Structure 1
């Protein structure tokens, strides 16, 4: 009975909605979080979920990790990698009974079974609320993330914490943005006016077909950006800029994409002008993405079944090129203030397939350690990741980085941002 009680400490109000002093103590001493907690990783046999399970096991060997998926052979392989403190569970996320049965005796569910684009329901979050299980997802879709956010009141009533968009980007990039804004408001006389996200990944970053499907689906969405407080719609994979990502990455071309952190940062942090751009390598993949946007109807690119057929067609070629391109990844967040103060954050890693797991695991552990209040939150909201917990989260996520700097002036990375046409500067 004592062991079973300890397994469910994460679900108790004393752990998840404690007084500020107790929360700060756990942030300073994360080993005081629930011992032997049980974490279910949905999509745990895939690249993102598997990387997350490995990172969780490395960061907290005491955790009980349940790897969930539909392929028993892959599940057995992952369990063999993780060792005796893990097991496999066959779970269909579209089956409510299967989901709720899997969630019945776990303390936290990590939803890494993408792609999230074009999903019509938040089935995992709904099941987590129903079973009173803490929740983290790696959603990278604007519509899905705001649908998840609409469950906030239900999550509060169930007394469970939930974080949506809690991966590498969005996720760690949101926390970086929040920290840049917080520092600017404490150190500057001006107000934050413009924030831009820039992302680069070589090939698919070793993350396989799911990332490829996500990229194609995003090409079917108009890009939402903000210019001086007004939402504007732009063509996907347009507005190319050549951005310097600093040490280990260098200058790369990046293009506008419709990413959820743009809206959440605009609304949560109150930044009037926000945009996000992404680029890949080799350079001809960028040309191919531009061509697809121009030649294929948006309706085609928004159709998940057609996109999956496209992924199967391209997958062998992409995997072959990935072996040459590698999987380096970089995030750059730029903040400009009304008094002329500019600040930059850079996060670069040699292997996306590793750092995405570190990032997602960092969010999972923050929830287990009581940093998140009941409700559904974006990473930049202090109710999601407490301000005093951000340093620990970023430290965990940044393990193995080749370059991680925060709150530096732009000249240190030799940025040269350019202006879009028609006077729109995003």
Structure 2
């Protein structure tokens, strides 16, 4: 019902599905084939999917599955093969972390959730041990807290990318490419950038993603309107958006997502917003009702939210079996000369696609695309401009629809939009 799922139970069928259906990408010769990569949260849904995607992208990579559950770790290692191993790691213990990072070339932090986490323990450990770093953070506060370690990462000469999953992550790179193309082909200056996301059900995610969804309902939505920072009510501003082939029209609502601020500050677009929607449609109605009936203080209280999760989880799991877990991203850019362009990314499985996307970022770092420092995906120092095409190609493996730099009428089933009073 919301963001990419984090730190969840390993689903063996997802691992098998990814191996059977996604073709291997042939890597350039400069790939460090014998690199050692630690995937924290490796026994969860995102971590397990990432480890699987990495093993497929580059079978010679030595993958260390990091987590607390040795039994689940052993099961994943058995699937990944002899180039993998399990390491028991507690990310809240700095000594445990630093020991796990010894002789590791890259650490992927997929052990969320990141909401309301006050420290960047994994990033700090990566800097102290001079280990390259990627995370799948989906929380605005955490992302900018990670960014505050930029100078320390530069001093340690390590590359780090935050918010490097599917959304935020691939969506940021799509936005950066739309903006770059618009400035290069005479469309005028970018004026409005909007992120639209859709996930069926909870994306097969379970309790953790429910908690993330409810916590986001307690946050004011930060958006930008003609250069002015504005605050809006969460899960308001509904639009009906056409996600094209395989998804169709879906209702989406405003949420406070980290790519809004990073795109505004880095890409220089004066109007930026993000919306999200789910299915079945009554889940959206429930989210709207929660923002109206429950105080924001209640929705920001993790212990109270956890009780809500326990109440709703059985129902969500039952409906997930019917709804599936399709995911779609649509990134729209409008320019000063009246021309619009967009990118669409749709996949039949959120849990598979988020791992594939994260693995694409990991490979870009291993191949030397990232300069020392802490970067967002849309920054060219994080993912070099010349590396974006390869990253998007890798991330799009298995998609049912992936298009870039197309006008809306070429993609939509019915190119019309419902407008609202606020221009976001």
Provide the secondary structure at the position in 2 that maps to 1:231. Answer: strand
Matched-pair contact (CA < 8 Å) for 2:187–2:339? no
Cα-to-partner distance string for 1:200-230 (whole Å, 9 max, x where unaligned): 0000111232222211111110000000000
Cα-to-partner distance string for 1:32-91 (whole Å, 9 max, x where unaligned): 221211111111111111100000011110011111111112111111121111111111
Task: Give, in angstroms, the shift of residue 306 of structure 1.
Answer: 2.4
Matched-pair contact (CA < 8 Å) for 1:152–1:375? yes
Cα-to-partner distance string for 1:348-400 (whole Å, 9 max, x where unaligned): 00011111000000000000000000000000000000000000000000001
Provide the secondary structure at the position in 2 that maps to 1:407. Answer: strand
Provide the secondary structure at the position in 2 that maps to 1:32. Answer: coil
CA distance in 2 between counterparts of 1:63 and 1:209 reads 32
CA distance in 2 between counterparts of 1:276 and 1:237 reads 11
CA distance in 2 between counterparts of 1:317 and 1:70 reads 28
- Quote the residue 1:389 is aligned against: 387
Residues 1:355 and 2:353 aligned together: yes
Task: Give, in angstroms, the shift of residue 189 of structure 1.
Answer: 4.5
Provide the secondary structure at the position in 1 that maps to 2:399. Answer: coil
Q: 1:219 aligns with which of 217, 224, 228?
A: 217
Q: Which stretches in structure 1 are left out of the alignment for 5+ residues?
A: 1-26
RMSD: 1.3
- When structure 1 is superposed on structure 2, of 233-242 and 81-90 the one drifting more is 81-90
Matched-pair contact (CA < 8 Å) for 1:48–1:207? no
CA distance in 2 between counterparts of 1:301 and 1:39 reads 36
Could you list the runs of 4 or more consecutive aligned residues of structure 1 that deviate by over 4 angstroms after TM superposition? none
- Quote the residue 1:373 is aligned against: 371
CA distance in 2 between counterparts of 1:417 and 1:71 reads 47
- Quote the residue 2:161 is aligned against: 163
- Quote the residue 1:329 is aligned against: 327
Return the TM-score normalized by structure 2: 0.92
Q: Which stretches in structure 2 are left out of the alignment for 5+ residues?
A: 1-24
Task: Give, in angstroms, the shift of residue 111 of structure 1.
Answer: 0.5
Return the TM-score normalized by structure 1: 0.92
**Number of equivalenced pairs:** 398
Matched-pair contact (CA < 8 Å) for 1:208–1:319? yes
Q: 1:97 aligns with which of 83, 95, 98?
A: 95
CA distance in 1 between counterparts of 2:93 and 2:311 reads 29
Provide the secondary structure at the position in 1 that maps to 2:218. Answer: coil
Matched-pair contact (CA < 8 Å) for 1:188–1:341? no
- Quote the residue 2:416 is aligned against: 416
Task: Give, in angstroms, the shift of residue 418 of structure 1.
Answer: 3.0
User: Superposition pairs for residues 106-125 of structure 1, below 5 Å?
Assistant: 106-125=104-123
